[in-house]
Amino acid sequence: MFRSTQSIITTVLLSLLFIACHSDSQQASAHTNKSGFSDNPVTTPILPLVYDTAAPQVKQIIEKLDKFYAAQVRAGFNGSVLVGYKGNVIYERYYGYSNRERKVPLSTGASCQLASISKTFTGAAVLYLYQRKHLDIDKPVQFYIKDFPYPAITLRMCLDHRSGLPDYTHWAPNYTKDTKTPINNDDMLRLMAAHRPALEFKANTRFTYCNTNFAVLAKVVEIVTEMSFRDFMARYIFHPLGMNHTFVYDPITPLPAEAAISYRYNWAREPDMFADGVYGDKGIYSTPEDMYRWDQSFYHNTLLNAEMIDLAYGPCSFERPGIKNYGLGWRMLCYPDGNKIIYHNGWWHGNNTSFYRLIKDNFTVIVLGNKFNKGIYQHARAICGIVNGVSAESEGLDGDE
């Protein structure tokens, strides 16, 4: 059904008003350090969110989506959802609590742990530096991290999950007695250098999704820029896009009061454990509105130029015959007619998240849940079915993290 989405959505949403609103640009000073990294954050004017829900056809869609989510809430859904079309927010809702104990409802400012959707940011950060010639994705990781014990693995192999690295969430507990206290990327890399866990396969021979890849990439960003990953992402990615409720989690720093707590299915809190201090593979908190700003930035080449975006969207995994593939930080469905769905899901503790982008149509579905609910991975399928007025059994959408 997605391959014909353009014509259907255009008909259904014909009366949407496309408003090009610009805010005043703000100049930012250059960041320079002894490594030679010197770059100005993007100063392109931020496009504010535009809402248009008055058209009769859109009202009908909203009614159907409200009915769908009423059923989801009865089934246990606690989270937020945003649906956008060509820069317009056509549906945005917040269901349940960001903090159930204090009866704090989810709201526009309630940042949620994105889990593996964080990889889309880490990948873009690496490509941002590559575009500006601060690093080379075809150089070995060892060129940047001197004691990295696998000389054949390049940054590109980490970006497309063809490195063969074993997942630190599985092997790190074997080398540390304390599995409750969070470690960070440096700790993980020290364990890797000391114990050299065996590769899953020879580098660049096949695809296996692995969190270690993006934790390594986050450390490369820090080495190249001589900034913490948290500070780099805030200065060069989040703030320039107006993503004021988005940040990299640090277990040492308390979460903002509005941030969504992670809950198990029975409303028990998910405590931090050893992997919660590792970032790049997960660890970014955001909101649906901020995520929509992130989504729209790719249509305006705000951070990455067209060449870098095409590189990111290029199928790289070749894991098996069919439409499923992986680019540089993005999952994708690649159809024979050339159409693509660019997406990523996430799952960490009680957080299940989904981010689907029908790029040909500039149609986006964002669902962030902070109470364990694997059914969230089917929401994009159902939403697209409702918008198109057809069955929700749509090809390809699944629960891949």
pLDDT computed for residue 150 by the predictor: 98
Q: Of 252, 160, 235, which Cα lies nearest the Cα of 204?
A: 160
pLDDT computed for residue 2 by the predictor: 41
Q: Which domains does the chain have, with CATH numbers?
A: 2-15+52-388 (3.40.710.10)
Measured between alpha carbons, how far is residue 340 from residues 85, 187, 336, 356, 388 in Å? 16, 38, 9, 11, 17
pLDDT computed for residue 20 by the predictor: 31
Per-residue pLDDT of the chain (401 residues; tens, 9 = 90+): 344 444 434 333 333 323 233 333 333 333 344 445 678 887 766 766 887 777 788 899 999 999 999 999 999 999 999 999 999 999 999 999 999 999 999 999 999 999 999 999 999 999 999 999 999 999 999 999 999 999 999 999 999 999 999 999 999 999 988 999 999 999 999 999 999 999 999 999 999 999 999 999 999 999 999 999 999 999 999 999 999 999 999 999 999 999 999 999 999 999 999 999 999 999 999 999 999 999 999 999 999 999 999 999 998 877 777 889 999 999 999 988 888 999 999 999 999 999 999 999 999 999 999 999 999 999 999 999 898 764 333 445 555 66
pLDDT computed for residue 3 by the predictor: 43
Look at the alpha carbons of 362, 398, 121, 291 in this order and tell me if their dihedral is positive or negative: positive
Helix/strand/coil (H, E, C) string of 184-217? CHHHHHHHHHHHCCCCCCCCCCCCCCCHHHHHHH
* Helix pair 5-12, 379-388: axis angle to 10 deg: 60
Q: What pTM value is reported for the model?
A: 0.89
H helix runs in 14-116, sequence order: 56-74
98: Cα separation from own chain's centroid:
20
pLDDT computed for residue 313 by the predictor: 95
Question: Are the C-beta atoms of residues 221 and 234 closer than 8 Å to each other?
Answer: no
pLDDT computed for residue 88 by the predictor: 92
Structure tokens at 306: 């067209």
List, as one string, the DSSP characters of 104-172: EEP-TT--EE-GGGHHHHHHHHHHHHHHTTS--TTSBHHHHSTT-S-TT-BHHHHHTT-S-PPPHHHHG
pLDDT computed for residue 57 by the predictor: 82
